[in-house]
């Protein structure tokens, strides 16, 4: 009887544990895809072999071919020249390069191979049907060619890293996601935590120059991989279906806009050039005693010695280091963050010091906004921006810390998560954090991201009422992490779709035909239009007037991109999915 009781208790315990696990969020234990620098060093010392004898191939991923001669090579002189040309030699970016040079954190991990992500085959210009979009997932043949040039075989363990300091590991993360999509096992596909900086911070020297190991081209093919994970990619057709069905707006899935939001402020005009109260039509931030300002080139000139400064230098400490340059009058009090609704593009309804604007696409798109129902990475209630998820060493924070940060934002593994950003690079960073570190099973990425979504428009502006007009993007932003601020000195009215028409978000009235009309890339064909499937819409400007090939009317200094669209496309917008399903079999 005692033995039966013990057996019964044992089975009761097992049943209880099973029931308990069934109600936990959908998490899986981390599979070790994140590689510690100390482990990589052991493999290097072991002749670039794992403990099992597998060959280790280190791939340094960067976005631009010029990065081989700068970041990969660890050429401090060249990097300083690049930063000086863009930001000046007293900018925070310049001083960051100096610091990296002093710390020995410029260069690449010895034995690394160099790969340009945007040109190597990882991404490609592809069409789902209505429009060709850049930066979609690379085709099977392109992946094959890319890895064959690197000499990769199915027996190798790949370690992905990057020499750049910002945006941290997004290029390496994007390559990780792409190879995972095509079927690489996590055991053979590792992301180095902290990338090259993490390796250097661990006390291991980086290598300078562009020399790489001799490579024997291989005959690799994704067809040799035992599985595919095409389900982790959301195509255009599915994204439109999710929005139209109300799935994103109801929150049945957690849609995360992973674009990093620059803090947005508008410029106050509450005093004259002499400092007396009153408006004179010139924002106060440009009226600094002892300086003249040229609005054409947006530069300040010091009257005493004709020294020239950027607004970024006037705002931050770099220009003040000489003891002669006062800072521009800017603070969260005198130039408060943008609340909603108002004439400036923003996202929140309660004014706080944590307001952030709708993130602006770094690529040319036809309009700005967010996909209906999307959450942003920072609000007054939570912060899951990239800097919040990594430490000063550029390494991911612990799993427990990430779980708490994501939970505060409403991501706890109980709902499917869909990610997007500008081009799918930053969202791949989040995919890795959520799927590989936190262990959430149902995480996917809308591959087209805003560079696709923001160009599928069946509407166009007629005048400037709903056209984005920001005159200053204030840095530091790259490669420094903060602060990054967008300054608006003009009104940016924006639009919401009420189910049948576009409504002015500030006045609540319908946008008139003299302000917005059917047209755009889709010639007014609303089937594939994403404007009415978005929130907080504001158009970007176009310099072409009445060009019948472009279907746009507004003239300004910023142009809409040239897009190859098929407005009357009648199929499903899933051509990439279909192509990849049939590839390489």
* 398 shares a domain with 528: yes
Residue 337 to residues 377, 470, 474, 486, Cα–Cα distance (Å)? 17, 14, 14, 10
Instruction: Classify strands 485-488 and 472-474 as parallel, antiparallel or unpaired.
Output: antiparallel
Do 90 and 175 lie in a common domain?
A: yes
Close Cβ partners of 253 (under 8 Å, ≥ 6 residues apart):
242, 247, 415, 416, 417, 418
Residue 283 lies in a domain: yes
- Regions of the chain short of the pLDDT cut 50: 1-30, 318-320, 342-356, 477-482, 545-546, 548, 556-557
Tell whether 28 is covered by a domain.
no
Q: Are 254 and 411 in contact (CB under 8 A)?
A: yes
In this structure, the dihedral spanned by the alpha carbons of residues 295, 297, 300 and 306, taken in order and rounded to 10 degrees, is -130
> Burial letters for 37-55: b for 16+ Cβ neighbours within 10 Å, e otherwise?
bebbbebbeeebebeeeeb
* Structural domain count, the chain: 3
The answer on 238 and 218 residing in a single domain is: no
Which of 228, 254, 289 is the last residue in one of the domains?
228
Q: Cα–Cα distance between 497 and 466 in angstroms, integer?
A: 14
Shared domain check, 201 and 57: yes
Is the CB of residue 173 less than 8 Å from the CB of residue 431?
A: yes
The whole-number pLDDT of residue 309 equals 83
Same structural domain for residues 180 and 256?
A: no
Task: Report the alpha-carbon distance of residue 18 to residue 81 in Å, rounded.
Answer: 61
Rounded to whole angstroms, the Cα distance separating 183 from 232 reads 11
Give me the pLDDT at residue 502, please: 97
Among 326, 343, 328, which residue's Cα sits nearest to residue 266? 343
70 touches 165 (CB < 8 A): no
How far is it, in rounded angstroms, from Cα 363 to Cα 321? 34
- Residue 514's CB is within 10 A of a number of other CB atoms, namely 9
d(CA 546, CA 132): 23
- Residues 219 and 148 sit within 8 Å (Cβ to Cβ): yes
pLDDT value of position 492: 62
- Both tokens assigned to 239: 């994204």
Same domain, 388 and 532: yes
Q: What 3-state class would DSSP assign to 368?
A: strand
Give the end of a domain, one of 228, 257, 286: 228
DSSP result, 286-334: G--TTEEEETTTTEEEETTT--EEEHHHHHSGGGGGGSS-PPPS--TTT
From edge to edge, which strands make up the β-sheet containing 375-376? 233-234, 443-446, 417-420, 254-257, 375-376
Could you tell me if residue 314 is inside a domain?
A: yes
Closest CA to 42 of 136, 159, 139: 159
Q: Tell me, what DSSP letter sits at residue 533?
A: G
Kindly state whether residue 27 falls inside one of the protein's structural domains. Answer: no
User: Are 469 and 384 members of one domain?
Assistant: yes
CA-CA distance, 334 to 321, in Å (whole number)?
A: 23
Helix, coil or strand: residue 161: strand
| Residue 379 counted as domain residue | yes
Residues 519 and 384 in one domain: yes
User: In Å, how far from its chain's centre is CA 184?
Assistant: 24
Same domain flag for 282 and 375: no
pLDDT given at position 447: 97
Tabulate helix, strand, coil % of the chain (nearest 5).
Answer: 30, 20, 50
Q: Are residues 395 and 501 both part of a single domain?
A: yes
| SS3 annotation, 476-503 | CCCCCCCCCEEEECCCCCCEEECCCCEE
- pLDDT of the residue at 174: 94
In a domain, 583, yes or no: no
Residues 255 and 280 in one domain: no
Choosing from 213, 228, 243, the residue where a domain stops is: 228
- Residue 529 resides in a domain: yes
Q: How far apart are CA 188 and CA 373, in angstroms?
A: 36
Q: If residue 133 lies in a helix (H) or strand (E), which one and from where to where? A: strand 132-137
Domain that holds residue 281: 268-322
DSSP H/E element including 371: strand 367-371
The CATH number linked to 168 is 3.40.250.10
* Tokens encoding 134: 């850049």
Are 546 and 519 part of one and the same domain? yes
- For residue 394, being part of any structural domain is answered with yes
């Amino acid at each position: 009887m005692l033995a039966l009781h013990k057996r019964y208790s044992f089975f009761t315990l097992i049943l209880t544990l099973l029931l308990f696990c069934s109600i936990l969020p959908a998490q899986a234990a981390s599979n070790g895809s994140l590689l510690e620098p100390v482990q990589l060093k052991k493999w290097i010392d072991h002749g670039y072999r794992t403990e099992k004898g597998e060959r280790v191939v280190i791939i340094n991923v960067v976005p631009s071919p010029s990065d081989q001669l700068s970041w990969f090579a660890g050429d401090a002189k060249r990097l300083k020249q690049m930063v000086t040309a863009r930001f000046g030699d007293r900018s925070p970016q310049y001083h960051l390069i100096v610091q990296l040079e002093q710390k020995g954190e410029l260069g690449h991990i010895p034995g690394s191979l160099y790969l340009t992500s945007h040109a190597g085959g990882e991404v490609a210009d592809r069409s789902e049907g209505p429009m060709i979009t850049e930066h979609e997932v690379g085709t099977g043949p392109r992946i094959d060619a890319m890895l064959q040039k690197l000499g990769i075989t199915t027996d190798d363990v790949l370690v992905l890293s990057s020499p750049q300091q910002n945006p941290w590991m997004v290029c390496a993360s994007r390559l990780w996601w792409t190879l995972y999509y095509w079927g690489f096992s996590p055991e053979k596909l590792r992301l180095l935590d902290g990338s090259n900086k993490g390796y250097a911070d661990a006390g291991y020297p980086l290598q300078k120059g562009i020399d790489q190991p001799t490579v024997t081209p291989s005959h690799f093919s994704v067809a040799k991989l035992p599985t595919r994970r095409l389900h982790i990619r959301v195509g255009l057709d599915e994204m439109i279906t999710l929005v139209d069905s109300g799935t994103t707006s109801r929150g049945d899935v957690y849609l995360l806009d992973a674009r990093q939001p620059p803090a947005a402020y508008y410029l106050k005009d509450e005093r004259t050039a002499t400092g007396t109260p009153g408006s004179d039509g010139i924002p106060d931030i440009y009226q600094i005693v002892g300086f003249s300002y040229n609005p054409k080139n947006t530069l300040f000139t010091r009257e005493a010695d004709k020294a020239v400064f950027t607004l970024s230098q006037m705002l931050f400490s770099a220009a003040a280091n000489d003891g002669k340059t006062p800072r521009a009058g800017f603070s969260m009090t005198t130039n408060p963050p943008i609340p909603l609704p108002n004439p400036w593009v923003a996202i929140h309804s309660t004014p706080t010091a944590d307001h952030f604007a709708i993130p602006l696409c770094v690529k040319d798109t036809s309009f700005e906004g967010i996909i209906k129902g999307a959450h942003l990475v920072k609000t007054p209630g939570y912060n899951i921006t990239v800097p919040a998820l990594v430490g000063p060493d550029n390494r991911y924070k612990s799993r427990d810390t990430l779980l708490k940060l994501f939970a505060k934002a409403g991501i706890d593994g109980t709902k499917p998560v869909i990610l997007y950003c500008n081009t799918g690079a930053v969202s791949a960073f989040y995919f890795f954090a959520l799927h590989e570190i936190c262990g959430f099973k149902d995480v996917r990425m809308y591959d087209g991201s805003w560079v696709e979504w923001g160009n599928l428009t069946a509407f166009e502006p007629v005048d400037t009422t709903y056209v984005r007009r920001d005159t200053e993007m204030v840095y530091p932003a790259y490669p420094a992490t903060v602060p990054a601020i967008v300054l608006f000195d003009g009104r940016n009215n924006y639009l919401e779709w009420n189910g049948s028409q576009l409504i002015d978000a500030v006045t609540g009235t319908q946008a008139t035909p003299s302000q917005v009309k059917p047209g755009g890339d889709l010639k007014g064909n609303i089937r594939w239009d994403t404007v009415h499937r978005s929130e907080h819409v504001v158009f970007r400007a176009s310099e072409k007037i009445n060009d019948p090939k472009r279907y746009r009317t507004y003239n300004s200094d910023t142009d809409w991109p040239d897009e190859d669209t098929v407005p009357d496309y009648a199929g499903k917008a899933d051509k990439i999915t279909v192509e990849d399903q049939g590839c390489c079999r």
